[in-house]
């Protein structure tokens, strides 16, 4: 970890992550309750919100091996039946998503406050990324893609735009 002060890369990333969480929370707030679980097959509004947060949870770790996919929604992707997964996904609430996103937001911000630029350029156990920085940029891009999808759906429902 770094000696003192926040690194230049961390400072830039903290700003980008804060904006991402702000946009995500606006989408959560603006989706009407009656539309929250609307969608087709495996693509429902609430599930995409959960996916955004769950992947941020995954990529904010230093190893992929500790992730328990679906745990926060009460199921296990590898052991639960398809019916159990669907049933548990339908119990996802806006409050649950807000709490989960806050937990991951705090984890990422703490990490970025503690890490040096040099450490961000190192690899971790996510072997498919060249660096921790690359992994974090991918996470931001992935999450922004899905937030954009959801924002477009809200506009199609004549919902209020969220503030950029």
What is the reported pTM?
A: 0.92
Task: Note the pLDDT tens digit of each residue in 127-161.
Answer: 999 999 999 999 999 999 999 999 999 999 887 77
In a domain, 2, yes or no: no
Structural domain that includes position 73: 8-156
CATH (domain of 67):
1.20.120.450
Q: What is the 3-state secondary structure (H, E, C) of 58-119?
A: HHCCCCHHHCCCCHHHCCCCCCCCHHHHHHHHCCCCHHHHHHHHHHHHHHHHHHHHHCCHHH
Question: Which has the closest alpha carbon to 70: 81, 103, 35?
Answer: 81
In a domain, 51, yes or no: yes
Split into its structural domains, the chain has a count of: 1
In a domain, 161, yes or no: no
Task: Note the pLDDT tens digit of each residue in 112-121.
Answer: 999 999 999 9
In a domain, 89, yes or no: yes
In a domain, 63, yes or no: yes
In a domain, 1, yes or no: no
In a domain, 3, yes or no: no
């Amino acid at each position: 970890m770094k000696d003192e002060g926040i690194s230049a890369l961390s400072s830039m990333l903290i700003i980008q992550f804060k904006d991402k969480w702000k946009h995500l929370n606006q989408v959560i707030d603006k989706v009407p309750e009656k539309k929250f679980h609307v969608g087709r097959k495996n693509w429902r509004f609430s599930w995409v919100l959960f996916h955004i947060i769950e992947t941020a949870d995954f990529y904010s770790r230093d190893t992929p091996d500790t992730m328990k996919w679906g745990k926060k929604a009460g199921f296990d992707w590898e052991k639960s039946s398809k019916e159990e997964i669907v049933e548990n996904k339908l119990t996802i609430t806006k409050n649950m998503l807000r709490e989960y996103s806050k937990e991951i937001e705090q984890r990422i911000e703490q990490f970025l406050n503690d890490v040096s630029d040099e450490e961000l350029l190192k690899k971790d156990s996510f072997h498919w990324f060249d660096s921790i920085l690359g992994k974090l940029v991918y996470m931001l891009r992935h999450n922004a893609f899905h937030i954009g999808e959801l924002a477009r759906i809200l506009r199609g429902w004549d919902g209020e735009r969220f503030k950029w």
